[in-house]
Chains A and B, each alone.
Chain A
Amino acid sequence: MTSVSSLIIVVSIGLIGLFLLIKAVPSLRADTVNFLTSPQFSTTDARHLAFGIRDLLVVTVLSSMMALLLAMPVALGIALFLTFYAPRQLSRPFAYIIDLLAAVPSIVYGLWGIAVLGPALLPVAEWLNTRLGWFPLFADGNVSIAGGGTIFTAGVVLAIMILPIITAVTREVFVQTPRTHIEGALALGATKWEMLRTTVLPFGRSGYIAASMLGLGRALGETVAVLIILRAASTPAKGSLFDGGYTFASKIASAAAEFSEPLPTGAYIAAGLVLFVLTLVVNALARAVAHGKVRAR
């Protein structure tokens, strides 16, 4: 009976991929534009489907990458703080506070992001845009910066959302650093920072990278927060942080109410399949990097 349960889990993963593929193929055949390179996503006319994932891919990758770049150093700092700096009695309550970040539902992050954080970040966004606008990442996007519904805002919110998972997994690996290495470094007269640099960081590096990739996987698949924050844009993304538009996940969720006809629905399922494969690859890479040192949570 217990092995049957195991089998259920194993089989269900295979089924997810299989069913998404089965449902996506007819729509992919009916697609009139190139699925991989077309920026448009129009499914209103079932007999003339025209959907491509280029725009979704650009927005998804930009927002997730930004989140990752923001979250990685902070998460490393928090993990070090919790394992080596915080007073022993306080380290558990502090860790609990960080875990609370993960308990906040994503829809609340979305609300807060667009209503509070977006306006608060406006001066930063405008400064980046006027001073560094020559750099493509900070150039004018396809939605107004003043609205706050940009990849920039979404990226910051995503960064906050993936902080707890990166921190937790990194912390788990740092704790495993052999006691003898740490004491050896300290006995040789290393300062605390030198001890961390010479023992903990080399030991935990692969785990930290794996943790970051798990975080990236979360950011790629995050749905509702992004859906609420990003403003729809009439033109394709230009590759700027001040673009709006849809990620894979938010595109699917935005159209969820209209899933009635099989062919247009299949178009979104195809997008979902791409997202599934994307997160699968990222997660598998994370595990390959970590050599079994970390496990998902």
Chain B
Amino acid sequence: MTTIETTAPSPAAPAPALRSIGTARRVKNWLATVLVTLAFCVAVVPLAWLLTTVLTRGYRAILRANWWQKSLKGVLPEQFAGGVYHAIYGTLVQGLVCAVIAVPIGVLTAIYLVEYGERGRLARVTTFMVDILSGVPSIVAALFVFAVWISTFGFSQSALAVSLALVLLMLPVIVRSSEEMLRLVPDELREASYALGVPKWKTIVRIVLPTALSGMVTGVMLALARVMGETAPVLVLVGYSRSINYDILDGNMASIPLLIYTELTNPEEAGVQRVWGAALTLIIVIMFFNLLATIISRLSAVQSR
């Protein structure tokens, strides 16, 4: 450093032990602060912009009385009528069926990794595979289910096929979040239980799982919110239907993303409104599950941070 001290009262005095920070260093520091803060603002702008767009363009559609109670059965493309009840049903059901399959597998895997696997080979391979699975694009998961379920086993396109593809996308999220929660359970609890002569499986079921439960439920909610917005699997694995279909094993079933994608080809003003209304609805549904997750995590017994 070759900064010349100009503030020193007399040139003969020895240099002070604590120098003030040179201008160049101060400017650099200030510049870094500004840039870093700016980066954050840059990220907030699109979020706010996107949300206001969807809100202003979509609110009219969802305020109509029929929006939440009726399907689009018999509604003409240019008619301002009907609702997305059928699509909400599809989204929820496909998400729930997926959760019913994915949650047990995911939670059991997490238990294996934390309680049984230690650092064994299977545990390491599983962890690696979970990481890989989380990187698999949704369209590839959809293609895989198509190749197995539909073209090899010969089943028809159905909501169940969609759920199966969603399972592949949901599993890594659940394993990872459950694993994190189980690791947060203090070892003292386990040891206390063992000391009382409780077998391992009972310790896990009665002590470890209840302690980690709310955290794991939070993870499941977040995973649900994530898979419900997936569009690629529904495009490949199920057809769109304008009316409600309760059967997950057979026939076309709408879901909100699929409805948006289908209505995109409708050039009428009513179609445009429906698209933005459905987009807003999808965000509301996803936010609902996100919010639920936050609320449950507040009740959590073990704190994540």
Contacts and interface: CB of A to CB of B under 8 A. Distances in A.
B295 interface: no
Interface string B96-138: 0000000011101101110111000011011111111111111
Given A78-B40, A249-B232, A296 B172 contact: yes
28 contacts: A4-B108, A13-B132, A13-B133, A16-B140, A73-B39, A75-B39, A77-B39, A78-B39, A80-B39, A103-B225, A103-B287, A105-B229, A107-B229, A107-B260, A108-B279, A109-B50, A112-B53, A117-B49, A192-B32, A194-B29, A221-B136, A222-B137, A223-B232, A279-B140, A283-B135, A284-B132, A296-B130, A297-B176
Given A101-B43, A221-B137, A252 B236 contact: yes
Interface string B36-50: 111110111011011
Contacts of B208: none
A101 B51 CA distance: 10
Contact of B122 (A6, A194, A280): A6
B199 to A, nearest CB: 15
Contacts of B122: 3, 6-7, 10
A44 interface: no
A296 B108 CA distance: 19
B264 A228 contact: yes
B33 A85 contact: yes
Interface in A98-148: 98, 100-101, 103-109, 111-112, 115-117
Interface stretch (B5-13, B77-85, B144-152, B189-197): B144-152
Pairs of residues from A and B, 6 with the lowest C-beta to C-beta distance, nearest first: A221-B137, A77-B39, A105-B229, A2-B112, A283-B135, A5-B108
Interface size class of A (residues with CB under 8 A): 35 or more
Given A6-B126, A221-B140, A223-B139, A19 B109 contact: no
Nearest to B261: A107
Interface stretch (A31-39, A46-54, A178-186, A269-277): A269-277
B218 interface: no
A76 interface: yes
Given A15-B144, A103-B226, A276-B140, 20 more contacts: A2-B115, A6-B112, A6-B113, A6-B122, A12-B133, A13-B132, A16-B168, A19-B152, A20-B147, A85-B33, A85-B36, A108-B282, A111-B54, A223-B137, A252-B236, A253-B139, A268-B143, A272-B143, A275-B140, A296-B172
Contact of B43 (A8, A78, A106, A276): A78
Interface size class of B (residues with CB under 8 A): 35 or more
B133 A107 contact: no
B41 to A, nearest CB: 9
A224 B235 contact: yes
A15 B54 contact: no
Interface of B: 21, 25-26, 28-29, 31-33, 35-40, 42-44, 46-47, 49-50, 53-54, 104-106, 108-109, 111-113, 115-117, 122-123, 125-144, 146-148, 151-152, 168, 171-173, 175-176, 225-226, 228-232, 235-236, 257, 260-261, 264, 275-276, 279, 282-283, 286-287, 290
